[in-house]
C-alpha cells in the first residue's frame, strides 16, 4: 500500500477536502497507521455567482488515488452538508463500509435510491456504546445535541491519545431529544485529548445558543394567538423543529399540511422512523386544506431561505398550484437567513406584505428559531471539558476559525499548538508535536443536471458574461458569389430591447455589412471570416454601449 509522503512514519495526518474556510461540503480525512478514515461527505449549495450549478462537492482525487487504504466513511449526522456528497463519492471511490446512526441511516438510504447504477457499500448502524477497532485505533461515539436527532462526535483513541471530532453541536441542557453525553467528554478529557477538531460556525456569536425547547414553547404560544391560517417555513432538515410545529398545531386544534418536495420527504422519513409523532389525522394532504376552517390549518412549507422555486416563493408570487394566500394568513419564518440569502428572504417578505399577509420573523419580539451550532460559551465548554493539547478549528469561514482559536488561547491552549487550516492543508501530529506538513489537491467540483464536473470555470465565466451583458447574434444570408441576399438579421437576448432601439440595430447591421465586405476579398475560411466580423463588432458595440455581449455570427449560404 502507498502512504502519504507528506507524513513521517510516526505521524498521524489530518486534513479536510471540504469544510475549512467555508460553511458546507464537510469532508475530513484522518490518516492513522496508513489507514484512511473519512468523516462525513457533504455538499455545499451554490451562491449567486455559480449560475446554473445545483451543488458543489469536494475534489475526491486524493481518495481515488488512495482508495485501497480507506477503511470506512463515518457520518456524524444527517444534514446535507455532511451526507449530500455520498452518492457522488461512491461514483468515484470504493468505500468498504459506511458507519452512520439513527435517522442518518434512513436519510442516506433514501438518498442512495435516487441514483441509478450505484454500488452501495454495507451501511453499519452504530449506537452510542459501540466501539470499532482498526489496528491500534479504537473509534467510539459521543452523543451531542444539534438541530437534527442522532448527532454524534467521533472519537479516535490512538496510542498517542484521543483525537475528537465534534461534528456540528450546541450545548442544550433541555434538549427536545436525548441529553448530550457530557460525562464521556469529561472522561476523554481526563484520559488525554491529543487533538480537538471543533465546529466553528457560531464562533463569532457571544453567549450561548438558546435551547430548542424554548423555541417549541414560543411557537406553541404564537400559534395560540393566531386566528387565520398559519404558513410556517423552516429547514426540511430540522426534524426537531418539524416535530415542534406538529405539536403546536395539534395543541391548538390545527391540521398540518406539508408542502415542498424536501419537506414532504423529511416528514415521511420522520414519521416512518418515529422521530416525528403526530396524533391520528393531524397530518392532511394539501388538497384537503380547503375542507377546514382557516383557524384549523397549519401549512408547513419549504422556502425559509427565499429559494426561488421553493413552495413559499411560489405561494408569495401566486404561482403555487394548490395554495393561494388569504388576507388573514400569517406567515412565520422559523429560521434565520444563511449569509447571502437575506436578499431573497426580503423579497418574499415584501411580496407577502403586498398581499396583506402578516409576517413573523425570528427576533426580539418572537422566538421562532435557534441555531443548531454552539455560540462562544458553548465552544468554550467543549474546550474546557476535553482539555486538548492541540486544536484545529473546523467547519467555518476563516474569520470564524480565527475567533475560535482566540477562545482556545484564552482557555489555556498554547498558541503554537493551534493550526488554522484551509482545505487541502495537511496537519501532521505526534504525541509531542503538530505541524503543517504540506498540501494535497483539494478544490471545488460543480454538479449540474449533466452530472459531476460537467461545468467548469470557463463555462461559469461565460454564464456570468451572459447574465451581465447578454448575447447578440448576427445572421448573414449569402449567395454563391458572396453577395448578401438581405440586410444582416440581428437577434438580441439580454443585451438591448429590440423594440425602441431601431436606430442602434440599423447601425449594428451596417457595421456587420461593412465588416463582411471588408474581409470577403481576403478569401478567409468561413470560421476565420466569422471571427473577424465578431472582433470588429465587439469593439464597435463596446464604443457604443460600454458593454460586451457574447457575439454569435452565422453565415448561411442560400
Residues that are catalytic: 199, 373
Residue with cell 451543488: 55
Report the C-alpha gap between 552 and 328 in whole angstroms.
52
Rounded to whole angstroms, the Cα distance separating 482 from 504 reads 26
DSSP string covering 189-256: HHH-EEEEEEE-TTTTS-S-PPPHHHHHHHHHHHHHT--S-EEEE--TT-HHHHHHHHHHHHHTT-EE
Going by the DSSP 8-state scheme, the letter that residue 498 receives in this structure is S
Q: State the number of CA atoms in the 13 A half-sphere of 355 facing the CB.
A: 19
**b/e 238-249 (16+ beta carbons within 10 angstroms → b):** bbbbbbbbbbbb
Residue 294 is classified by DSSP as G
Grid coordinates representing 13? Answer: 495526518
Residue listed under C-alpha cell 451554490: 46
The closest of 221, 205, 223 to 213, measured between CA atoms, is 221
DSSP 371-430: -SS--HHHHHHHHHHH--SEEEEESB-HHHHHHHHHHHHHTT--GGGB----TTEEEEE-
Distances (CA, A) of 274 to 86, 102, 103: 24, 11, 9
Q: What is the DSSP string of 40-78?
A: ----B---TTSTT--EEEE--HHHHHTGGGEEEEE-S--
Q: Are 420 and 402 in contact (CB under 8 A)?
A: yes
DSSP assigned state of 138: E
The rounded Cα 81 to chain-centroid distance in angstroms is 5
Amino acid at each position: 500500500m502507498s502512504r502519504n509522503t507528506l507524513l513521517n512514519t510516526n505521524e498521524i495526518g489530518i486534513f479536510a477536502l471540504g469544510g475549512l474556510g467555508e460553511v458546507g461540503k464537510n469532508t475530513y480525512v484522518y490518516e492513522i497507521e496508513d489507514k484512511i478514515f473519512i468523516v462525513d461527505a457533504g455538499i455545499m449549495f451554490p451562491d449567486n455567482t455559480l449560475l446554473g450549478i445545483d451543488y458543489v462537492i469536494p475534489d475526491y482525487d486524493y481518495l481515488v488515488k488512495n482508495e485501497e487504504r480507506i477503511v470506512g466513511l463515518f457520518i456524524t449526522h444527517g444534514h446535507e452538508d455532511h451526507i449530500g456528497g455520498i452518492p457522488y463519492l461512491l461514483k468515484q471511490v470504493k468505500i468498504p463500509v459506511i458507519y452512520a446512526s439513527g435517522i442518518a441511516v434512513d436519510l442516506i438510504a433514501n438518498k442512495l435510491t435516487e441514483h441509478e447504477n450505484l454500488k452501495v457499500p454495507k451501511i453499519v448502524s452504530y449506537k452510542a456504546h459501540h466501539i470499532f477497532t482498526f489496528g491500534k485505533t479504537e473509534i467510539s461515539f459521543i452523543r451531542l445535541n444539534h438541530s437534527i436527532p442522532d448527532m454524534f462526535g467521533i472519537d479516535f483513541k490512538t496510542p498517542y491519545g484521543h483525537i475528537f471530532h465534534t461534528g456540528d453541536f450546541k450545548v442544550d441542557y433541555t434538549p427536545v431529544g436525548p441529553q448530550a453525553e457530557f460525562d464521556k467528554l469529561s472522561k476523554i478529557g481526563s484520559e488525554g485529548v491529543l487533538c480537538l477538531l471543533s465546529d466553528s460556525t457560531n464562533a463569532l456569536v457571544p453567549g450561548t445558543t438558546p435551547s430548542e425547547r424554548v423555541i417549541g414553547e414560543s411557537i406553541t404560544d404564537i400559534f395560540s394567538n393566531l386566528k387565520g391560517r398559519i404558513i410556517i417555513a423552516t429547514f426540511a432538515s430540522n426534524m426537531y423543529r418539524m416535530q415542534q410545529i406538529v405539536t403546536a398545531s395539534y395543541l391548538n386544534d390545527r391540521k398540518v399540511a406539508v408542502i415542498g418536495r424536501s419537506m414532504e420527504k423529511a416528514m415521511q422519513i420522520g414519521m416512518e422512523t418515529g422521530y416525528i409523532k403526530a396524533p391520528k389525522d393531524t397530518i392532511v394532504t394539501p388538497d384537503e386544506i380547503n375542507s377546514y376552517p382557516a383557524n384549523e390549518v397549519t401549512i408547513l412549507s419549504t422556502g425559509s431561505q427565499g429559494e426561488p422555486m421553493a413552495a413559499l416563493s411560489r405561494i408569495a408570487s401566486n404561482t403555487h398550484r394548490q395554495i393561494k394566500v388569504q388576507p388573514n394568513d400569517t406567515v412565520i419564518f422559523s429560521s434565520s437567513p444563511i449569509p447571502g440569502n437575506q436578499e431573497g428572504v426580503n423579497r418574499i417578505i415584501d411580496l407577502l406584505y403586498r398581499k396583506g399577509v402578516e409576517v413573523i420573523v425570528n427576533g426580539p419580539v418572537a422566538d421562532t428559531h435557534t441555531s443548531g451550532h454552539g455560540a462562544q460559551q458553548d465552544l468554550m465548554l467543549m474546550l474546557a471539558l476535553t482539555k486538548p493539547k492541540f486544536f484545529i478549528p473546523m467547519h467555518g469561514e476563516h474569520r470564524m476559525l480565527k475567533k475560535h482559536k482566540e477562545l482556545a488561547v484564552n482557555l489555556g491552549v498554547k498558541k503554537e499548538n493551534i493550526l488554522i487550516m484551509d482545505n487541502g492543508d495537511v496537519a501532521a501530529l505526534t504525541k509531542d508535536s503538530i505541524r503543517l506538513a504540506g498540501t494535497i489537491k483539494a478544490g471545488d467540483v460543480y454538479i449540474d443536471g449533466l452530472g459531476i464536473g460537467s461545468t467548469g470555470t470557463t463555462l461559469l465565466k461565460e454564464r456570468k458574461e451572459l447574465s451581465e451583458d447578454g448575447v447578440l447574434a448576427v445572421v448573414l444570408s449569402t449567395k454563391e458569389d458572396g453577395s448578401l441576399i438581405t440586410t444582416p438579421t440581428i437577434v438580441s437576448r439580454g443585451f438591448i430591447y429590440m423594440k425602441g432601439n431601431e436606430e442602434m440595430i440599423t447601425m449594428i447591421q451596417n457595421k456587420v455589412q461593412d465588416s463582411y465586405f471588408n474581409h470577403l476579398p481576403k478569401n478567409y475560411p468561413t470560421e476565420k471570416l466569422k471571427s473577424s466580423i465578431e472582433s470588429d463588432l465587439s469593439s464597435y458595440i463596446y464604443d457604443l454601449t460600454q458593454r460586451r455581449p457574447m457575439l454569435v455570427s452565422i453565415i448561411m449560404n442560400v
